[in-house]
Structure 1
Amino acid sequence: MFKSAKESQVTITQLMLPSHSNFSGKIHGGFILNLMDQIAFACASKYSRHYCVTASVNKVDFLNPIDVGDLVTLKASINFTGRTSMVVGVRVESENIQTGKKKHCNSSYFTMVAKDETGKNVPVPGLILETEQGVRRFARSVARLQQTIHRTSRFKPSEFKVEEHLDDLKDHNVKISLIEK
């Protein structure tokens, strides 16, 4: 079975309250991450028709701060489907209610896995790619997956060779003082 990304799309909007702020008066990043995880869950569960769990979150960059009183809108859509997993693209925008000015605050990719009632992974529908943007998002997810596999194996403790990386570190704010075992 295959479904379109449109069948997965979820949008939520929430007013940012003082209780959501950090010590600098901006909205706490952890609160936004919680909202992002919730919408990723809703999107993946809606698409797969199963409860889903978060397997990983790919890079979250906080691009712009969010102020108390802003409306925050989160948009989520399925970008990629594997056998039992899905990559959900999440975009966060804030809007100043008084000026109407909108800011892109962050985007991230959540890998979600569909589960049955006993907690076992279950297959998910394949994705119908209907637009160039859909093909780009799917291809980008495949590339991220391949990079993750390469990065994980390259830095595996049993295969890591310190001497291959010492030159790479010399221009960084680090002092290397290895202690012999």
Structure 2
Amino acid sequence: MTLTPKRAQDSLIQMTELVLPNDTNTFGNLMGGRLMYWMDIAAALACMKHCSAPVVTASVDNISFENPIKLGNVVHIESKVSRAFNTSMEVHMRVWGEDPVQQYRYKSNEAFMTFVALDPNGNSRPVPGIITDTEEEKKLYEGALRRRQLRLILGGKMKPEDADELKALFFEKI
């Protein structure tokens, strides 16, 4: 079955949340777990929009927090499918905090997650490919194969010597 590819931009989800006292730690900063919960929802929505099917989280790449988001600030999460494989999709996310009183926006973090599409029986199912339009989308698309190989190696599902895309970064072809 061949699925019609879809534009990366068509999977874009923009989610906004207000940081309330129950979302913060003792320092008045948004708890990392709460942010990851929101990111998981935004990423799942982008994938469901892309493949028109239910999805489950398969992996979460490194999430580094550049700047804390404070109590009373607004969280903006932007998520978009960066590449579709056979049954899985990589999602790129950017997170910003916004101080509504001082009226400035700042980057909090960036991350990648992978989701798998499910059929009505809960089995993985094929997903449409991705059409990239912008230079940034093309760059994310190209890097996705290397990130996927790294995830598979770290998850014990691929041997490092089989990761041709990763090897190409370190070794010259003869």
TM > 0.5 fold call: yes
* Superposed counterparts of 1:13-162, under 5 Å: 13-151=16-154, 152=156, 153=159
**Normalising to structure 1: TM-score of the pair?**
0.82
- Report SS of the residue matched to 2:65: coil
1:6 aligns with 2:20: no
Q: Distance in 2 between matches of 1:14 and 1:80?
A: 26
Q: 1:150 to 1:55 in 2, by over 3 A?
A: closer
Cα drift, residue 149 of structure 1? 3.7
Q: Distance in 2 between matches of 1:148 and 1:16?
A: 31
The AA in structure 1 aligned to 2:146 is A
Aligned to 1:177: none
Q: Distance in 1 between matches of 2:78 and 2:27?
A: 26
Summarize deviations over 1:22-77 as a string: whole Å, max 9, x none: 12211111000000000011110111000000000011001100100101100000
The AA in structure 2 aligned to 1:3 is K
The AA in structure 2 aligned to 1:71 is V
Q: Which structure has the larger Rg over C-alpha atoms?
A: 1
Q: Distance in 1 between matches of 2:148 and 2:114?
A: 10
Q: Distance in 2 between matches of 1:102 and 1:116?
A: 40
The AA in structure 1 aligned to 2:121 is T
Structure 1 stretches lacking a partner, 5+ long: 155-181
- Number of residue pairs matched? 154
Cα drift, residue 14 of structure 1? 1.1
Q: Distance in 2 between matches of 1:29 and 1:147?
A: 24
Percent of aligned pairs sharing the same letter: 31
> Where has structure 1 moved over 2 Å in runs of 4 or more?
146-154
